[in-house]
Structure 1
Amino acid sequence: MNQQTAVPPPMDGRDPSNLRGDAITGDRYYSEEFAQREWDHLWTKIWHIAGRTADIPEAGDFLVHNFKKESVIAVRQDDGSIKAFYNSCGHRGMRMVSQSSSVDEFHCPYHGWKWGKDGVLAYAQDADVDFSRGNPCGKLKLNELRCDTWGGFVWYTMNPDGSSLADYLEPMPALYRNYPMDTAVRVAWYRIEINANWKFVTDNFSESYHTRTAHPQVPPWIDQDVDSARHEMWPKGHGRTVQPMRPSLSDRPEGGGNAMFEAEMAKWDIDPKQYASYEDFAMQGWLDLKAAKQKLWQEKGYHHYATMNDEEITDSPHTVIFPNVTISFLPDNLIFFRSEPHATDPEKCYFDLWCMAFPVEGQDEVESIMAGRKPLREVTECEHRTFDGGRGIPELVGQIVYQDMELAEDMQAGMHSRGYTDAYLSDQETRIRFFHEVLNDWIDGRRS
């Protein structure tokens, strides 16, 4: 993908004057008709993530991405490039593979047709004697989709005529060019079915107004106060909240100390007891941490800091890529969230959680933030779970994503109430309505 380097100035994500004022009505979350319009005008047009480039390092390695009733294969070619094909045999439409793996040829289990990694038919039974239209081998090819890469992810689109990936993602590649995303190691990998519409997830990650209520463990280490975080959004629907990774001055730990921030300081040779007040500890300590990281990153083995600036090595830009991908960029971690609609039920979705960490010299474990402490190595299998009121993922109890999923079903139920007609949003929730307005543009045919 050709990467642009200029970042256009964002719109203020706390300024409602940037909005048209489209209502966020409840039927958007449960209407089958609305879900069909999303399929027709959004999902078949946008760019999707099939998986990670690290999952397919060698020729013949392939990913399978199932989305609603569609299935796509992304396969590494002999020249190192990646091609994407519909997972549908060109003979009679049979799905050929069910999960990611590695092959020399795709072998249809129904009639034995074999398709090369390049999608060209290599073998068909009775090819020379039983096809009045001529031998199909070497002539037929699997239906190919446009495919590209960015950020260590493999992307594809079902739209043959839409924008390039670079244009679709703009300005995200330029904005995050300093992060060596390709080097991140996925240490936790979950796909969780929840009883809520997929838009609940994007709504939730488009604001931090709920944090103080739903995630009381966050303010001691990420300052999301209304006047501390920076809220930004761009015309294509992407947006972010840039959050300083320092203690909030509004939510102080009981007893006055802050073990988490103190430990971070000590790791970078800063004495947390040198500050005269809690305010100095939080604010000046945060500045001292920037300076210490810039001075010591090389000797401490944090080589991924080599291209990152002061903000990037101490803060967390929590970023939504329209319409359904969220990435939390932290100094030492990338946390990938994605929601995808259920194949038939608009009141269900799949929630993907990929916890990734940048390798640090001498470290063989990592605090994954969302999934607890993990070995610093690639996990090879996805954990498929059903939330089931939390019973399906007991190991994530108390984690931020668990707390979000606990809210999902009651939020979904509330969309059916006659008492709900539209959201009454705070200014720091401006990006929620903006997301729905951009979504409206897509399903009404004003974007493609």
Structure 2
Amino acid sequence: MNQQTAVPPPMDGRDPSNLRGDKITGDRYFSKEFAQKEWDHVWTKIWHIAGRTADIPEAGDFMVHNFMKESVIAVRQEDGSVRAFYNSCGHRGMRMVDGMSSVASFHCPYHGWKWGIDGKLEYAQDADVDFKKGNPCGKLKLGELRCDTWGGFVWYCMDDDGPTLEEFLEPMPALYRNYPMDTAVRVAWYRIELNANWKFVTDNFSESYHTRTAHPQVPPWIDQDVDSARHEMWPKGHGRTVQPMRPSLSDRPEGGGNAMFEAELRKWDIDPGKYATYEDFALQGWKDLKAAKQKLWKAKGYLHYEHMNDEEITDSPHTVMFPNVTISFLPDNLILFRSEPHPDDPEKCYFDLWCMAFPVEGQTEVESIMAGVKPLREVPECEHRVFDNGRGIPELAGQIVYQDMELAENMQAGMHSRGYKDAYLSDQETRIRFFHEVLNDWIEGRA
């Protein structure tokens, strides 16, 4: 994909005048009819992430992404490109592979047909003697989808006529061009079944208004106060909250200290005791941290800082990419969240959590933010879990993402209430309604 360089100015994500005012009604979260509209007009048109480019480094390496009742293979080609095919044998439709592996060709377990990694049929039993139309080998091909890469991810689209990946993601590639995303190491990898509609996840990550209530551990190290964070959104539905990674002045730790930020300052050779007031500690300390990181990044082995600016090396632009991918861009971590609908029940979804860290010289483990301390190495496979009121992922208890999932089921239940007619939103929740309005545009053919 060609990398864009110009970033158009965002709309103010705290200005409701940018909205039409479309209602967010409860049936959107449980109606099978609405879910069918999403399949027909959204999921079959947008770009999906199949996986990470790092998972398929060599020719013949493949990954399978199952989405609702569809299945797609993304496979590395001999020339280094990646192509995507429907995981459906051209003979009788049998799914051929699952997970990740490496093959010389795809072998159908039903009748033995073999398809090359380029999608062409290589072998069929009795090919020369039992097909009146002639030998099908070399003539038939697997159904192919458009495929592209960005950010260290493999993307595919089921629609042959829609926007390119560059057009679909605009302006995200330009906005995050300074992050060497393809070098990040995935240190935690979860897929969690959750009893909530997929849109709960996008709603949740489109605002920080809930943080003070749901995540009391956040304000000591990320300032999400209403007047501190910057809220931005773009016409295609993408948006972000740019959060300074410094202590909130509204929610101070009991006792007046802040061990987490003090440790961060010391790591960059800044004495946290030199500040006369807590305000100086938070605000001037944050500015001093920017200067220290720009001066010392190479000596301390933070080579991924090479092209990152002052904001990128000290802040967290928490970014939602329409409709269902969220990436938290932290100075030393990338955290991907993705929600995908259940194939049969609109009141269930799959919640993906990928914690990725940029390698730093001398580090052997990292604080993955959402999954705790992890070894700095690629995890070999995905952990498939059922949330089950938290019992399914006890190792994540107390983490931010666990706290979000704890809220999901009661939020889903509330959508059925006769007392709920529409969301009554604060200005800093403007992006929630904007997301639903863009979703409506896709469903109604205006996108």
Equivalent in the alignment of 1:371: 371
Does the alignment pair 1:243 with 2:261?
Answer: no
Does the alignment pair 1:138 with 2:126?
Answer: no
Distance 1:307 1:125 in 2: 55
Shift of 1:200: 0.0
Distance 1:213 1:235 in 2: 30
Distance 1:8 1:185 in 2: 30
1:385-431 deviation per Cα after TM superposition (whole angstroms, max 9, x unaligned): 00000000000000000000000000000000000000000000000
CA contact (8 A) 2:320 2:327 kept: yes
Distance 1:176 1:148 in 2: 17
Distance 1:192 1:432 in 2: 23
Distance 1:57 1:373 in 2: 27
Distance 1:209 1:246 in 2: 17
1:33-70 deviation per Cα after TM superposition (whole angstroms, max 9, x unaligned): 00000000000000000000000000000010000000
Structure 2 residue identity aligned to 1:321: M
Query: Matches of residues 260-271 of structure 1 in structure 2 within 5 Å?
Result: 260-271=260-271
Distance 2:41 2:101 in 1: 31
Distance 1:242 1:380 in 2: 32
Distance 2:297 2:4 in 1: 28
1:122-179 deviation per Cα after TM superposition (whole angstroms, max 9, x unaligned): 0000000000001000000000000000000000000001110000000000000000
Distance 1:326 1:339 in 2: 9
Equivalent in the alignment of 1:442: 442
Distance 1:366 1:201 in 2: 25
Equivalent in the alignment of 1:149: 149
Distance 1:430 1:415 in 2: 19
Structure 1 residue identity aligned to 2:27: D
Distance 1:4 1:307 in 2: 16
When the two structures are superposed, what TM-score results if normalisation uses the length of structure 2? Answer: 1.00
Equivalent in the alignment of 2:37: 37
Distance 2:57 2:320 in 1: 27
Does the alignment pair 1:294 with 2:294?
Answer: yes
Equivalent in the alignment of 2:312: 312
Q: Give the match's secondary structure for 1:207.
A: coil
Distance 1:359 1:4 in 2: 26
When the two structures are superposed, what TM-score results if normalisation uses the length of structure 1? Answer: 1.00
Distance 2:230 2:104 in 1: 49
Query: Matches of residues 249-264 of structure 1 in structure 2 within 5 Å?
Result: 249-264=249-264
Equivalent in the alignment of 1:63: 63
Distance 1:117 1:222 in 2: 46
Equivalent in the alignment of 2:362: 362
Distance 1:221 1:207 in 2: 17
Equivalent in the alignment of 2:105: 105
Does the alignment pair 1:75 with 2:84?
Answer: no
Give unpaired runs (5+ residues) of structure 2.
Answer: none
Shift of 1:73: 0.2
Shift of 1:106: 0.1
Query: Matches of residues 3-42 of structure 1 in structure 2 within 5 Å?
Result: 3-42=3-42
Distance 2:425 2:4 in 1: 34
Distance 1:363 1:100 in 2: 28
Shift of 1:207: 0.1
Q: Give the match's secondary structure for 1:312.
A: helix
Q: Give the match's secondary structure for 1:437.
A: helix
Shift of 1:100: 1.5
Post-superposition, which runs of at least 4 consecutive aligned residues in structure 1 deviate over 2 A? none
Structure 1 residue identity aligned to 2:306: A
1:313-362 deviation per Cα after TM superposition (whole angstroms, max 9, x unaligned): 00000000000000000000000000000000000000000000000000
Equivalent in the alignment of 1:420: 420
| Identical residues among aligned pairs (%) | 87
Distance 1:176 1:401 in 2: 23
Distance 2:183 2:346 in 1: 36
Distance 1:66 1:444 in 2: 26
Equivalent in the alignment of 1:332: 332
CA contact (8 A) 2:63 2:98 kept: no
Structure 1 residue identity aligned to 2:159: N
Structure 2 residue identity aligned to 1:400: I
Q: Give the match's secondary structure for 2:313.
A: coil
Q: Give the match's secondary structure for 1:240.
A: strand
Distance 2:99 2:52 in 1: 14
Equivalent in the alignment of 1:348: 348
Give unpaired runs (5+ residues) of structure 1.
Answer: none
Distance 1:28 1:164 in 2: 28
Structure 2 residue identity aligned to 1:125: Q
Shift of 1:445: 1.2
Does the alignment pair 1:203 with 2:184?
Answer: no
When the two chains are superposed, the root-mean-square deviation of aligned CA atoms in Å is 0.3
Distance 1:60 1:132 in 2: 32
Q: Give the match's secondary structure for 1:236.
A: coil
Shift of 1:3: 1.1
Q: Give the match's secondary structure for 1:290.
A: helix
Structure 2 residue identity aligned to 1:237: G
CA contact (8 A) 2:332 2:357 kept: yes
Shift of 1:97: 0.6
Equivalent in the alignment of 1:192: 192
Distance 2:99 2:234 in 1: 36
Equivalent in the alignment of 2:47: 47
